[in-house]
Structure 1
Amino acid sequence: MELSKSVASIIAHVGGKENIVNVWHCMTRLRFELVDYDKADMEALKAIPDVIGVQFAKGQVQIVIGTTVEKFYTEAMKQLGLDAAKEADKAPADEPSGEKKGLVSQFMDLMSGIFGPIVPAIAGAGMIKGLMTGLVALNVISNTTDTYLIIDMLASGVFNFLPFLVAASEAKKLKTNQYLAIALATVIMYPTMVNAAAAGEISNFYLFGMIPVPVFNYSSSVIPIFFGVLLMSYVHRWVDRIIPSAAKTVIVPTLTLFISGILTLTVVGPIGIYLGRGLASVVNTVYDISPVLCGVFFGAIRPVSILVGMHHAMTPIAMENFASQGWDMLMPMMFVANLSIVGAAAGCYFKANSKSEKTVIGGAVLSGFLGITEPALFGVLTKYKMAFVAATVGSVVGSAFISFFGVRLYGYITSSVFSIPAYIGPYFPFAVLGWIITLAVSFSLSYLLVVKMNRSSELSN
């Protein structure tokens, strides 16, 4: 179907332009916040040819499009008469009528709205970093050459200055001023702070000679700027409300940046640092006590978290692990979960009764190997429910296995076959065994539960 017609159908079936409060996208999904969710015709949305899947989760109607979602978003904004840049400067929308979302739902909604849009930048940089790590491990290139150092700048720059990306994305999600949010990121990333933290000679600066400003290296951090921009959105609204219109242009940004900057440096930023370390410490403590238990838990929740669009909730913890200890054990589990979904979808291939359905499953499997699992989840596993069970079991078994042997990554990278070079090193054999076990378990169980048992049921009838 033509793009404009598909988008027009989507808008019509979510209740029309007047029913849409907000629309945004992640890597594969259009996400709608609506005034009245009862007006959304889920079955009609599923029937649109370009739509892979539809679900209601976290107070959103999520429409799975695939890797072309940005084109759909751009066309949707055009048809809705909205400008993304201008929308980012508006005050946050009022809570839509109807039942209010819970705090957990709001938090997950915010996480997906922030990290979804910046994942391409992180994934691209992570892929370069992973490939270079693999080449160094294979002695193809030395990490002391100018070539390596230049390419490493391409890969590491995104992660070093991650607070800027988070600030811009969060401001857009909160509909506050993006440039003030970026300015706030410059405050905590200014060389005076970064260099003092690197030198390690002082623990505090003192504002007005008496207010301590803790010294931390905020490079690669996520949680401090997250809370900083959240605070800034409220400060900006408050200042904008009390300042007369004639003075808004200069006074509002001045007061917003001054108040938010001081509070972020003295209170919010340090709290964010300690909270991030605390979250990572909890996960690492569980991992230290029982790597297998940790693998079972994360392996079990990962497939369902992708299904409901909550998978970005793990990203801050993984990023904190990379920033604080230089490695992370969650990213390998994410790759295992993706492979389990691929294996389970592949098992369903032998259940397909038509050439078109086999083509859909084949495309979903290929897409899953490339790191995009939504086609397999929504196009295959939601149809064959027992295959989703098989994917979850495969994820649990594979994650427990690689956790037991301590498989880890030393930099953020997308969970796809292209990430394999990043695993080359002491844990590589265990990683490969884990991937094989995951694919074997999920494929075998899916084939058994969806194909074999179904055929036995048909014969008995």
Structure 2
Amino acid sequence: MNPQETAKQIVESVGGIGNINSVYHCITRLRFDLKDQGKADQAALKQLDKVMGTNIAGDQFQVIVGSDVSKVYDAMTKEYPALKADAAPPAAGTAEDKKKGNPVSRLFDFIAGVFAPILPAIAGAGLMKGLVALFVSWGWMTAGTDTYLIISAIGDGVFYFLPVLIAISASRKFGANPYVGVAVVSALLYPDLIALLGSGEPVSFVGIPVTAVSYASSVIPILLAVWLMSYVERGVNKIIPASLKLLLVPLITLLLVVPVTLIVIGPLGTFIGGGLSGGINWLLAEGGLFAGLILGGAMALIVMTGMHYALVPVILSNLATLGVDKFLPLTYISNMGQAGATFGVFLRAKDKKLKSVALSTSVTALMGVTEPAMYGVNMTYKKPFLAGMIGSAAGGAFAMAFGVNAYVLAGNGGIPGLPALIGPTFVYALEGLGIAFVVAAVVSFILGIKEEIPVPEVSPDGKKIVAAPASGAVSTESERLPAASAAPAVEEPVKIPARDETIYAPMTGRAIPLTDVNDPTFGDELMGKGIAFVPSEGILASPVDGTVMNVFKTKHAIVVHSVSGAELLIHVGINTVKLRGQYFEAQVQAGDVVKAGDPLLTFDLARIAEEYDTTTAMVVTNTGDYASVEALETGGVSILKPVLKVTI
């Protein structure tokens, strides 16, 4: 399955475009802010080739893709431009935001939403800084040369202008204009202003004292400044006439936000950031072995919940101001613990298939991508996950006892990211990583596993790890629904053994083979076999006697379960999900019992046809229950004319 098909099925499986507030990705995961997490079909998602699993962290719904996540995200935003990072997200303080009642979850979601998009730039620059330090220590490069200065600029430049990256990302998260956000930060980084604040002389603005604060590489003050800017911008936007908004809204926003930041926000943010960094650093420094034991052991759980993102500002602040950070090494150690636990499964297991899966995922975890190991093996068999935590606790205790530091933010937590740890404590860092791996492997080997649990399935490309259902488990109907049908809106009926059935035309127009549909999801019969129609009227009727199982929120598609057992997805038009319900009116709701010919949808055919292909696909999504699904008629048809025959 190519990234475009995967992206489309993921979107439908999380409830469709209308259920997505925003989406971005980190190194391995698509992170969705959904309007209703209950509409996400986790079983369908786990069946997709490129999906390793799902996870819910607070208000964030995560789809774990692995190394291809950027390809899937790019395909998704190409297919659905409204999901692009530069598309306006819901404004802060809207009803959608307010209904998410947990302040802690909102904080984690906000910090993750700000920093995940900019981590590639930070990681790349951080790795460059680590390599420069390595080259200098090995004598491959001499400090102070032109080459050294140019390469150092690649690494240092991102961190010096980090406030600019944060301003762009935070503005998008708050629903503010990112370019005005950059303008605010640019004023704070303006060389003459920096010189003025650094002169040592008293500085004032219209008689109000301005505290001397350096904003280069700062984090907390910029987040607070952009937060203030988002409210000022929206407030000014409400009172300025439309004809003057372009000029006056940015002007007034800048005139208000920059001085307030210099006078109040900057000093406050610096105080908060310094206190937070100082507190955590004090805990790690003074807690030593015990702090490493507790945080190292719990790190896998912290990462799973997304709580580690809350410390990204602290890590960046430490690296920018102190040149070192003590928390980051614990994330590396946690990776090694999970890799070691999976390696222990490889050593202990007798089943050849399980040994192969455990070894390959252990190697993947060593390279910094832990999801296949963690979700595919360790959490499937439970004891290895515990072993990974024990190994991480041992490695964390050793590392903190010897004061291990990270010196740059680089890549990921695996072997490719080791340059981040190069410095005076590098040897102790390597020993801590080794302890985590070895202890986890030994404990995992000793604890063993119940090999009667089915071996996780591995896709042909070796990238997907899916734990099979426990022995005797019966797949639910929702697990058998294709991804694009989304989660049923009502409880599934008791499974009826499928019987031979005739299915009728749901609309008037022209029937064509399903393979003629200009959409690979339907045309390649990925969803199942069926038939398609080019409508001449804007009425969609039920093709069977049965129950309406789902009316998509965007109203462009409906799922009907017939009394004879056929599951039918009827999708009006190609890419009409982008209309978000415009021009469609549902005549039924989930749970309604219908007769063949009863109206399901009405739609403005002429208006839709102006922008989209109106070809409508009708697919038997449980095609596997039948020996054949045969088209009876093509050409001109009307509602209730027999068009499909399904045979056991």
TM normalised by structure 2 equals 0.66
CA change 1:86–1:117 in 2 (3 A) is closer
2:442 aligns to what? 444
Task: Tell me the alpha carbon deviations over residues 359-405 of structure 1, each in whole angstroms, 9 at most, x when there is no partner.
Answer: 54444333322222223222222212222211111111111111111
Q: Distance in 2 between matches of 1:176 and 1:363?
A: 44
Task: Tell me the alpha carbon deviations over residues 290-325 of structure 1, each in whole angstroms, 9 at most, x when there is no partner.
Answer: 211221232133211221233222211111112222
**Greater displacement, 318-327 / 369-378:** 369-378
Q: Report the alpha carbon displacement of residue 276 of structure 1 after superposing the two structures with TM.
A: 0.8
Equivalent residue in structure 2 for 1:215, among 209, 212, 216: 212
Do structure 1's residue 288 and structure 2's residue 254 form an aligned pair?
no
Q: Report the alpha carbon displacement of residue 147 of structure 1 after superposing the two structures with TM.
A: 1.7
Q: Report the alpha carbon displacement of residue 348 of structure 1 after superposing the two structures with TM.
A: 2.6
1:426 is paired with a residue of what secondary structure?
Answer: coil
Aligned partner of 2:294: which letter? F
2:468 aligns to what? none
5 Å matches for 1:6-405?
6-82=6-82, 84=84, 86-88=86-88, 91-92=91-92, 94-96=94-96, 100-196=100-196, 199=198, 201-202=200-201, 204-208=202-206, 210-350=207-347, 358-405=355-402
CA change 1:254–1:55 in 2 (3 A) is same
Q: Distance in 1 between matches of 2:288 and 2:445?
A: 29
Task: Tell me the alpha carbon deviations over residues 38-95 of structure 1, each in whole angstroms, 9 at most, x when there is no partner.
Answer: 2211111111121011022221211011122122222222333416265137745834
Note the residue ranges of structure 1 that are not aligned, 5 or more in a row: none
Contact 2:53/2:375 (8 A) holds in 1? yes
Q: Distance in 1 between matches of 2:446 and 2:371?
A: 23
Aligned partner of 1:223: which letter? I
Q: Distance in 2 between matches of 1:382 and 1:121?
A: 32
Task: Tell me the alpha carbon deviations over residues 6-42 of structure 1, each in whole angstroms, 9 at most, x when there is no partner.
Answer: 2222122211222222222222211222222222111
Q: Distance in 2 between matches of 1:257 and 1:58?
A: 34
Q: May I ask how many residue pairs the two structures share in their alignment?
A: 452
Contact 2:346/2:359 (8 A) holds in 1? yes
Q: How well do the aligned residues superpose, as a CA RMSD in angstroms?
A: 2.4
Q: Distance in 2 between matches of 1:313 and 1:127?
A: 22
2:380 is paired with a residue of what secondary structure?
Answer: coil
2:531 aligns to what? none
Q: Report the alpha carbon displacement of residue 99 of structure 1 after superposing the two structures with TM.
A: 5.2
Q: Distance in 2 between matches of 1:36 and 1:456?
A: 36
Q: Report the alpha carbon displacement of residue 353 of structure 1 after superposing the two structures with TM.
A: 7.0
Q: Report the alpha carbon displacement of residue 338 of structure 1 after superposing the two structures with TM.
A: 1.6
2:82 is paired with a residue of what secondary structure?
Answer: coil
Aligned partner of 2:317: which letter? E
CA change 1:361–1:115 in 2 (3 A) is farther
Aligned partner of 2:34: which letter? L
Q: Distance in 1 between matches of 2:368 and 2:452?
A: 34
**Greater displacement, 356-365 / 286-295:** 356-365
Contact 1:32/1:60 (8 A) holds in 2? yes
1:55 is paired with a residue of what secondary structure?
Answer: strand
1:88 is paired with a residue of what secondary structure?
Answer: coil
Contact 1:117/1:169 (8 A) holds in 2? yes
Kindly indicate whether structure 1 or structure 2 has the higher relative contact order, using CA contacts under 8 Å at least 6 residues apart: 1
Q: Determine which structure has more spread, i.e. the larger CA radius of gyration.
A: 2
Contact 2:126/2:420 (8 A) holds in 1? no
1:413 aligns to what? 410
CA change 1:305–1:85 in 2 (3 A) is closer
Q: Distance in 2 between matches of 1:406 and 1:370?
A: 24
CA change 1:95–1:411 in 2 (3 A) is same
Q: Distance in 2 between matches of 1:80 and 1:352?
A: 44
Aligned partner of 1:375: which letter? P
Note the residue ranges of structure 2 that are not aligned, 5 or more in a row: 454-648
Q: Distance in 1 between matches of 2:86 and 2:435?
A: 49
2:433 aligns to what? 435
1:392 is paired with a residue of what secondary structure?
Answer: helix
Task: Tell me the alpha carbon deviations over residues 266-292 of structure 1, each in whole angstroms, 9 at most, x when there is no partner.
Answer: 111211111111011111222332211
Q: Report the alpha carbon displacement of residue 97 of structure 1 after superposing the two structures with TM.
A: 9.1
Q: Distance in 1 between matches of 2:72 and 2:191?
A: 40
Contact 2:288/2:401 (8 A) holds in 1? yes
Q: Report the alpha carbon displacement of residue 139 of structure 1 after superposing the two structures with TM.
A: 2.9
CA change 1:33–1:351 in 2 (3 A) is farther
Q: Distance in 2 between matches of 1:300 and 1:132?
A: 32
TM normalised by structure 1 equals 0.91
CA change 1:126–1:356 in 2 (3 A) is farther
Q: Distance in 2 between matches of 1:134 and 1:352?
A: 40
Q: Report the alpha carbon displacement of residue 447 of structure 1 after superposing the two structures with TM.
A: 2.2
Contact 1:161/1:220 (8 A) holds in 2? yes
State the identity as a percent.
37
Q: Distance in 1 between matches of 2:62 and 2:423?
A: 39
